[in-house]
Structure 1
Amino acid sequence: MFVPAGLHTAAAERRHLDQLAQAGADLFEVGLGSENAALDGPVIQAAYRRALSRGNVLDRTLRAIDHAAGLRPTVLMTYWEPLRRDPKHLARLIADAGATGVMVVDLPTRQQARWHDAAHEAGLHTPRLIPRTTTTAGLPASVARASGWLYAPASTAATGYQGPPDLPALDDFIRRLRAASPLPVVSGVGISTPALAARVAPSANAIVIGTPIVGPLATDPDRAAEVTAAFAQALHAGDSAEHDA
C-alpha cells in the first residue's frame, strides 16, 4: 500500500495507517514528497504538493515510517533529489526510523554505486523499479545490486493510469525479470481496480496500490480504508482460488 507522508497531522496520519493496516494492507510504501515527481500522475503529485506545503516533509516522513514499521514491513519510496546531497546520512535516518528498504525510482546510473553503498552500510534493501522499456540485454545491468525485490510497472504510463494495461506484455516482462534475477517481483502503476489487481496477482509476488488509495486518503480517509479492504479481499480471493486449483 502506497501512502504519501505528511498529508495530515501526525496524530491523524497514525490513525489512518492503523486503519489501512486493519483493512488488509500487508506492506507500506511511504512516499517522500517531491517537487518534481515526474513518474507520478496528478493525484500523487497533488498529494506531494500538499505535504510539501505543510513543511518539514522529511521529519514528517520519518515519523510516518516509524509508525508504519510498527504495523507492517515498510519501505520508503523516493526520488533521488532529496537524497543526493548526503545519501549516507539520510540512509541512516531512514533505517533508524524502521524502514527495511528504500526504492529510488529515478536513480541516476552514475549515482548507483554511491547510493547502494550508503544503503548497504545502513542495512537497507534497495528494491529497483525496472522500466518496461528495458531490453532483455539491458536487464542484467538494471537489476545489478538490487535487493529486496524488483518493481515491474503494470503500465508504461504515469501513476494513476486507468486504462486497460497490456497484461500479456506485463507477463512477458515479469518472466524476463525472473530470468535475470532471483528476486521477487512486485507490480503496481495502473492497477486501478480490485478486479484488475486480482488479474495481475498470479503473475507477480505482490501488488502495490497507490492512486486508488491516495485520492480518498487526501479527502476522506475512512473511504481509503474501505478501498483498501476491497483490494485486499480481491487479492486474498485470488490467492485462495490459486491454492485450491
Structure 2
Amino acid sequence: MHQPDVQCRQLDHLAQAGADLFEIGLPCADPVLDGRLIRSAYHRALVQGDVIDRTVRAVAHAASLRPTVVMTYWEPVRRHGPERLARLLADAGAAGMMVVDLPRDETLRWHHAAHAAGLSVPRLVPRATRDADLPAAVDGASGWLYAPASTGPTGYQGPLDLTVLAARVAPLVDAVVIGTPIVRALLSDPVPAAAVTAAFARALHPRIGTAPDA
C-alpha cells in the first residue's frame, strides 16, 4: 500500500473512533518543544522526503473528515515561504496554523500571510506565562489559544485518569489535543491508535472535543 493510502486509512480510523478535529504536524528538523517520540516521527518523515506534498495531502484528507489545523515551527515556514505555505495549506482545507516558536520580528509578516490565505493564527501560551504577560502573549491570535499541560517537552509519561482530566478541564477548554499516545500507536498500526482515541473520546464527550495529533 502506498504511503498516502496509509495516511488516509489512519485518519479514517481516528475519525471513526471519535476525534472531533485533527492537528497535523509539519515536520521540523529541530522541534525544540517536542519529546523523543515526536522528534523521531519528524525525523522519519524528513528522511522520506517530499514533506510539503505529503503534509498537504494529509491535511486535505483530514479536512474532508473533520476540522483540521496545522502545527509547526518557524524553520520550515521560513524555508518554504510564509505566503506560499499559508496558501498551500489553506487551499488544502486547513482552518488554521500555529507556529509555536514564531519570532517576534516575524509575527507581522506571518499574520498577514495567514490572514490573506484565510487561516486562523492561534498562539501557544507557555504554562509559565504570568497573568501580566498574557495580553502580549496572545496579541494578534485568532481561532484559539493553545495551552500546554506541562512545562516540559511533549511525551508525558505519568499516570493519567481520564475521568478526572475531563472533569477538571471541561469548564476551561474547548478541546484537548492528544499527541504522543496517538503517534506511538501510529508508528506500529492504525488500529491501536484508534483505540487510544476512542478511550479519550469516551472520557471527554460530550464535555469537550478530542483532537489527535498526527
In the superposition, the TM-score normalised over structure 2's length comes to 0.91
Q: Higher relative contact order at CA 8 Å, sep ≥6: structure 1 or structure 2?
A: 2
Structure-1 residue corresponding to 2:136: 141
Taking the aligned partners of 1:127 and 1:9, their CA distance within structure 2 comes to: 29
Q: Is the 8 A contact 1:201 1:207 kept in 2?
A: no
Structure-2 residue corresponding to 1:178: none
2:198 counterpart SS class: helix
Structure-2 residue corresponding to 1:194: 162
Q: Does 2:99 align with 1:130? A: no
Match of 2:113 among 118, 127, 130: 118
Structure-1 residue corresponding to 2:212: none
Cα distance, 1:238 vs. partner?
5.1
Q: Does 2:175 align with 1:209? A: no
Instruction: Look up the equivalent residue of 1:200 and give its one-letter code.
Output: V
Structure-1 residue corresponding to 2:196: 227
Query: What is the root-mean-square deviation of aligned Cα atoms in Å?
Result: 1.6
1:76 counterpart SS class: strand
Structure-1 residue corresponding to 2:53: 59
Cα distance, 1:203 vs. partner?
2.4
In terms of mean alpha carbon deviation, does 46-55 or 197-206 score higher? 197-206
Taking the aligned partners of 1:99 and 1:13, their CA distance within structure 2 comes to: 16
Q: Structure 1 vs Structure 2: percent identity of aligned residues?
A: 63
Structure-2 residue corresponding to 1:11: 5
Q: Deviation digits for residues 9-39 of structure 1, max 9, x if unmatched?
A: 1001101100100000000000011110100
Counterparts of residues 150-189 of structure 1 (less than 5 Å): 150-163=145-158
Note closer, same or farther for the CA distance 1:123–1:238 as it changes in structure 2 (3 Å cut).
closer
Taking the aligned partners of 2:62 and 2:207, their CA distance within structure 1 comes to: 26
Between the two proteins, the alignment pairs up a number of residues equal to 205
Cα distance, 1:196 vs. partner?
5.3
In structure 1, stretches of 5+ residues that fail to align are 1-7, 165-191, 240-245
1:26 counterpart SS class: coil
1:203 counterpart SS class: coil
Instruction: Look up the equivalent residue of 2:153 and give its one-letter code.
Output: A
Taking the aligned partners of 1:33 and 1:64, their CA distance within structure 2 comes to: 12
Q: Deviation digits for residues 184-215 of structure 1, max 9, x if unmatched?
A: xxxxxxxx563454243332221111101110
Instruction: Look up the equivalent residue of 1:72 and give its one-letter code.
Output: R
In structure 2, stretches of 5+ residues that fail to align are 209-214
Instruction: Look up the equivalent residue of 1:223 and give its one-letter code.
Output: P
